[in-house]
Amino acid sequence: MSKPFKSWMSKLQGSEFKVMRLGECVPSNNVVLDNPEYVVRYLRENLSTSLAYKPDVENAIAIYLNVKRRPIGFEVVSNGSIDTLFVDVRTLFRGAIIANAHAVIMAHNHPSGSASPSEADIKVTRNLITAGTLLRIELLDHIILGQPGVDSQKGYISLRELGYFAA
């Protein structure tokens, strides 16, 4: 082994690394996630392939997008309980930075079927908007997935459409 390689290896000993897996998404020129309906369709088609997604509890999902709003991939960043979810701003944006994403869409599910946002959902959305602004990685939307007919005909609610992204 060369001396520079040995030096580099000695610096790594004792260090821990996290390898993260972005959900596979087949590159496609016709998939643009520029409205909530397309985002929900994308998630419903792809979440079943995620090893980390657990439909019986709340899950925080980050979709990482390129400049043209095409998905680079998605990641389940947190699993919660049946009615509670902790979303760490750093964890969500860490994946965006690693993926070299231009923008992020946050989503989470409500196992109860109701897509109505809680005060905690609104607060975390505001925190993510602030953090994204500082990092220059735009949070495009926060979508809550529920079931059609429970409190929404569509089965989801977009916090952007509800006005929580207004300046």
**pTM of the predicted protein model:** 0.82
Q: 73-92 pLDDT, tens per residue?
A: 999 999 989 888 998 999 99
Q: What is the pLDDT of residue 57?
A: 95
Fold of 18-158: Cytidine Deaminase; domain 2 (3.40.140)
Tokens of 101: 């994403």
Q: What is the pLDDT of residue 133?
A: 95
Helical (H) or strand (E) element with 12 = helix 3-12
Task: Please list, in sequence order, all residues whose beta carbon lies within 8 angstroms of the beta carbon of residue 36, skipping any fewer than 6 positions away.
Answer: 141, 143, 156, 158, 160, 161
Q: Where are the domains of the chain?
A: 18-158
Inform me whether the pLDDT recorded for 104 exceeds 60.
Answer: yes
Report strand pairing: 103-109 vs 156-158.
unpaired
Q: What is the pLDDT of residue 48?
A: 86
